[in-house]
Structure 1
Amino acid sequence: MTAPPAPSVSAPRASAPPDVLHLATTHTAGDPRVAQKEARTLAEAGLRVGLVLPHDGDGVGPGGVAVYGVERPATGRDRVLRTTPAVVRRALAEAGPRTVFHLHDADLLAHGLALALRGRRVVYDAHEDTPRQALHQPWIPARLRRPAGWAYGAAEALGGRLFAGVVAAEPAIARRYPAAKTALVRNFPLLGELAVPGAAPYAERPAAVAYVGSITRARGAEEMARAVAGRGATLHLAGPFHPPALADAFRGRGGVVVHGVLDRPAVAALLGGVRAGLSVLHPTPKYLEAYPTKLFEYMAAGLPLVASDFPVIRQFVEPAQCGILVDPLDVDALGRAVGWILDHPAQAEAMGARGRAAVEASYTWAPEGRRLVAFYDALRAGRPPGQPIPA
């Protein structure tokens, strides 16, 4: 298991308060979207930027961004009750009167509303469809999940009115907020991040496939393991298990390699040594409308995909002809798709090359980063920060 990259142990005290503080409770100081993309992009645009999140001490993150650490939570309940208030307190201690509080987790919504009512500028980064996601959170008691979804929905609606702006990761989420305040900043990959120079030639790679991301039953963990085992191949799982006890069902299981959480170079190395990337989300209301970040990461790594046959995913995979779409609950269909890729390396490699070309043409972080900077330029100038949603 390789841990995310740790910033250096000491953070230099800024001569002036940060222009932007990114607040998070479930993300790390090396998080691809929060740290590597958004915080770093704003710092490179000349803003003073800090991250406030669970971390061992203070430090310096990607691009020289200051990291202000609070104690890590032990459980989901602990995160909500103890870590979230600690993140807000630390942010207030580091902020100046003009600092923008950029929130990255729904746990922070109530605190963000309180800050906005006190006249502070707050931006909400809507990564997920949180009201629907609450219906599947294992740390929320089953009887409370629907009320929690309603509460999150009400808080997000109120935030759309009170917050200075909203940054949304997907079009369906962006359209729920006032257009004048909202920018769509999709979580597309950094172009050079996942392509490994000198990676093993595709046809010489072992019979192996990979899944990278949060590992849950609703994200197809069991179906992937069963499908790949039936083909005599190896499934590499990289990411955190939710709930953590789920890991016990996969560690030591034949045909499955559990890597834990990998840093980005290690993710690139893993993807550079397998034959396909898997993303077989279950047809829950949340996943039927969301396009997974890993889809574009696999494409950026030049891998063919095996993914859920949902319209929102089909719109990217079919035009590029870069993968095979399946019913995510049909283990036999998933196994056949994996088997076809393993048995047809030349055609599968061509699929991966088409996916890489599609990413280079249309799905990279650079234009998303420019939209984020334009959002902040408008916000800091006192103009409505909303950006038109790209066609």
Structure 2
Amino acid sequence: MNHSDITICHLTSVHPRNDTRIFLKMCRSIAAHGYNTVLIVADGQGDESVAGVHIYDVGAQPGRRLQRMIQTTRRIFRRAVLVDANIYHIHDPELIITGLQLRRRGHRVIFDSHEDVAADILDKTYLASPLRKSISFLYSVFEQISCKYFDAIIGATPWIRDKLRVINPNTYDINNYPVIDEFNDCVNSDWSNRHLSVCYIGGIYEISGVVNVIHAVDLCNSAVTFDLAGHFTSEVLRDNIQQYKGWSNVRYHGYLRRSEVVQLMSTCRAGIVTYKPAANHIAAQPNKMFEYMSAGIPVIASNFPLWRSIIEDNNCGICVDPLNPNEIAAAIDIIITDEYHARQMGENGRKMILERYNWAAEERKLLNIYENLLGVH
């Protein structure tokens, strides 16, 4: 059987069609290897084909979460059935039922768990504590019952892999390591021409720690600017953050396309990823940490044990208490004022990406999973 005769269909109800993990890495990789690659989304932007990936849109999501979970998942299931894929690869917990329905029809189905969902629920502070605990417990039970029926499970980190492997032995990790070539322009950028700035690029939400970075920049001895890019998760959060005194030191760029992300990183002296110590962060491996390393800039990161083993053991940045703006400010000042060591840390990070933390190895693991399920090589 030729690869072109095999259809692999990725499904998401909540992620954007250009999601870094789903589209830029997974879908483009399998399409490049000749598989007929389909991505089903729900964003209302219509159907299109990009980089060999056929994107099918089931329409914009209804506003309320419950509506999305019922109506959108139904539309995704109906569209998935029409695709009649050899393998379905689902990316959202709310699509687990959809995956089980496809499995019941005799299809091979993979569940890709991007995060520890039960732990993530416990960190949702907008829910009352007893309700959080109840929902987290119920999801854990649901996960244990459902995941054993999938042909394979993928975790975005070794931690998630180990947790789910207890339920299903066919569980693997595909890490969010960067595509090496994407950040070449950053590495080639002249350090002396860079702004006296640090950047955070990603979703802006309360536990991402952005507020403490804004306070930290205001405490710095050096005249540093904070380049902030990404969507605010709520208008209330945006309005509150913009009231802080330190906001005058912020250059807010809004949402950036990938090419614009590369351009911004090429002008900065360091990348910030000081997430607060939420349960789902401590064992996470955030995209942006590895992207900063790939861009050849030092990383200022939270002092979680896993992150320290990556950042400090490889001397590619500084780990700090994410709840302490003074520590964050001190780290920023070191990187801004000590250009020699800052450049060295950036080079060390890039070296580790080239040698270990890159998408090429993860791509091979992903293809092996598909090939084993299909019985082809």
TM-score, shorter chain, exceeding 0.5: yes
The correspondence of residues 325-336 of structure 1 with structure 2, limited to 5 A, is 325-336=319-330
CA contact (8 A) 1:251 1:257 kept: no
Q: Which residue of 1 aligns with 2:58?
A: 70
**1:159 alignment partner, one of 146, 149, 172:** 146
Q: Which residue number in structure 1 is paired with residue 369 of structure 2?
A: 375
> Matched residue pairs, number?
365
Partner residue in 1 for 2:117: 130
Quick one: which of 8, 21, 24 aligns to 1:36?
24
In the superposition, relative to structure 1, how do residues 155 and 165 fare at CA in structure 2: closer, same or farther (>3 Å)? same
Structure 2 residue matching 1:210: 3-state secondary structure: strand
Looking at structure 1, the residues matched to 54 and 346 of structure 2 have their Cα atoms a distance apart, in angstroms, of 37
Where 2:327 maps in the other structure, the secondary structure is helix
Q: Residue 12 of structure 2 corresponds to which residue in structure 1? A: 24
Question: Residue 18 of structure 1 contacts residue 50 of structure 1 at CA under 8 Å; is this kept in 2?
Answer: no
CA distance in 2, matches of 1:274, 1:57: 36
> In the superposition, relative to structure 1, how do residues 139 and 180 fare at CA in structure 2: closer, same or farther (>3 Å)?
same
Deviation at 1:116, TM superposition (A): 2.4
Identity %: 32
Distance 2:362 2:344 in 1: 27
| Alignment-derived partner of residue 115 in structure 1 | 102
Secondary structure in 1 aligned to 2:373? helix
Describe the shift of the 1:285–1:366 C-alpha distance in structure 2 as closer, same or farther (beyond 3 A).
Answer: same
Name segments (4+ residues, structure 1) moved above 4 Å.
Answer: 138-143, 197-200
- Which residue of structure 2 lines up, in the alignment, with residue 220 of structure 1? 209
Distance 2:103 2:142 in 1: 12
* Alignment-derived partner of residue 354 in structure 1: 348
Query: Which one scores higher on RCO, CA 8 angstroms, separation ≥ 6?
Result: 1
CA deviation after TM superposition for structure 1 residue 368, in Å: 0.5
Deviation at 1:143, TM superposition (A): 5.3
- Going from structure 1 to structure 2, the CA distance change for 1:145 and 1:222 (only over 3 Å counts) comes to same
Deviation at 1:320, TM superposition (A): 1.4
- Partners of 2:20 and 2:257 lie apart in 1 by 9
Query: What RMSD in Å do the two structures reach over aligned CA positions?
Result: 2.3
Q: Give the helix-richer structure, 1 or 2.
A: 2
DSSP-derived class of the 1:277 partner: strand
Amino acid at match of 1:191: I
Query: Using the alignment, how far apart are the partners of 1:24 and 1:348 within structure 2?
Result: 39
Instruction: Give the partner amino acid of 2:47.
Output: D
In the TM superposition, residue 205 of structure 1 has moved relative to its aligned partner by 1.6
Runs of at least 5 residues in structure 2 that lack an aligned partner in the other structure = none
CA contact (8 A) 2:32 2:52 kept: no
TM-score between both structures, scaled by the size of structure 2: 0.90
- Please give the per-residue CA displacement for 1:114-151, whole angstroms capped at 9, x wherever unaligned: 33234332110111111111223467676533222223
Question: Which residue is 1:188 aligned to?
Answer: 177
Secondary structure (helix, strand or coil) at the match of 1:176 reads helix
Selected match of 1:79 from 50, 68, 71: 68
Contact 1:322 1:355 in 2 (8 A): yes
Structure 1 residue 153, shift from structure 2 partner:
1.9
Please say which of residues 314-323 and 138-147 is displaced more in the overlay.
138-147
**Cα displacement (A) at 1:344:** 1.1
Deviations 1:142-196 (A, max 9, x none): 6533222223322322233100111111111111233641222111000011231
Q: Aligned to 1:262, what secondary structure does the other structure show? A: coil
TM-superposed CA distance for 1:317, in Å, is: 1.0
Distance 1:82 1:249 in 2: 34
Q: Structure 1 residues 71-80 or 269-278, which shifts more?
A: 71-80
Do residues 320 (structure 1) and 314 (structure 2) align?
yes
Give the superposition deviation at 1:26.
2.1
